[in-house]
Amino acid sequence: MTSPRDNLIPGTLNLLVLKAVSTGPLHGYGISKWILDRTTDVLRVEEGVLYPALHRLEKEGSLESEWGRNDTGRRAKFYELTPAGGERLAAEIERWRRTSRAVEVVIAAEGA
């Protein structure tokens, strides 16, 4: 109960959420589905962890939220990327790439 049940590599959840929302406004369930659909079982998210992340991103100004209706007319809270969120996404992607490249280099060196 003490730590987030985040099975992901630390820090990647924000990237995934921002990426999901960058396609257009989505509610929490939509975001989790988007992530699960694209990562299958490799990046398995315990779904509840998503929500504190969403609220934190909103607090930090990367996301904006608004209550609206989904296709079936049910009330849902939609999240949208702010310009600041867009910049943050780009930065997160850049960071991820750098990290993975570095790790890649290390692995390659070991194999040689």
Partner 1 sequence: MALGSGFKRLFRIGDPMREIDEELEFHLAMKTEELVASGMTPEAARAKAMERLGDADWIREECGTIRRELDRQREQREWFDTLRRDVRYALRRMARQPVFASLAVLVLALGVGANTTIFRDDPAVEAQDELVGIYRQRLSTDRLRDPRRDFGHLGYLQYKEQARSFAGMTAWRPLGIIMNEADGSVSLSAKLVSSDYFDVLGVDMYLGRSFLPEEGRTPGTHPVAVVSYALWRDRLGANPDLRDLTIRLNQNEFQVVGVAPRGFTGLDVWDERDIWVPLAMESAVNARFPVWGDNFFDDILHVVARLAPGVDVAQAQAELDVLAAQIEEVNEEAGVRRRVVVDSWVRAQSSANFYASNALTPFTALSVLFLVLACVNISGLVLVRTLERRREIGFRLALGAGRGRIVRQLLTESAILAIPAAILGLAVARGLAEGLAVVAGPQLDLSLDHRVMAFAVLTAVVATVLLGLAPALQATRFARWVGESDTPTRSERRPRLLSALVVGQLSATLILLIGAGSFVRTLQRAGSVELGFASENLLLLEPDLRRVEYSAADAQSFYDQLETRIAHLPGVTAVTTAGNVPRFDNGIARWCQRDLWREGSDELPPMTVEYNTVGPGYFETMGIPVVAGRGFSRPDGEGGAPVAVVNETLAETLGGPTPPLGQQVRLAGSCFSDTLTVQVIGVVADVRTFMLDDAPPPEVFLPIEQTPSANRVVIARNVPGAAGLSNTIRREVGAIDPLLLTPEVESMEERIEQGLSTQRTMADLSTVVGILSLLLATIGLFASLAFAVSRRTKEFGIRVALGARKLEVLRLVLGEGMTLTGIGVVVGLGASYWLLRVVNASVFTDVGTEFTRPDPWVIGACVLVLFTAALAACWRPARRATTTHPMETLRYE
Based on the shown chain and the rule CB under 8 A, indicate whether residue 43 belongs to the binding site for partner 1: no
Q: Using CB under 8 A as the criterion, what x/- string covers residues 90-109 for binding partner 1?
A: --------------------
Nearest one of 42, 2, 56 to 65, comparing CA atoms: 56
Site for partner 1 (CB under 8 A): which residue of 9, 52, 90, 104? 52
Distance CA(98)–CA(41), nearest Å, equals: 24
Member of 11, 24, 46, 84 binding partner 1 (CB under 8 A):
46
Q: Name residues whose C-beta falls within 8 Å of residue 79's C-beta, 6 or more positions apart in sequence.
A: 21, 25, 26, 27, 28, 31, 54, 57, 58, 63, 64, 65
Q: Which residues bind partner 1 (CB under 8 A)?
A: 1, 5, 27-29, 32-33, 46-49, 51-52, 55-56, 58-59, 67, 74-77
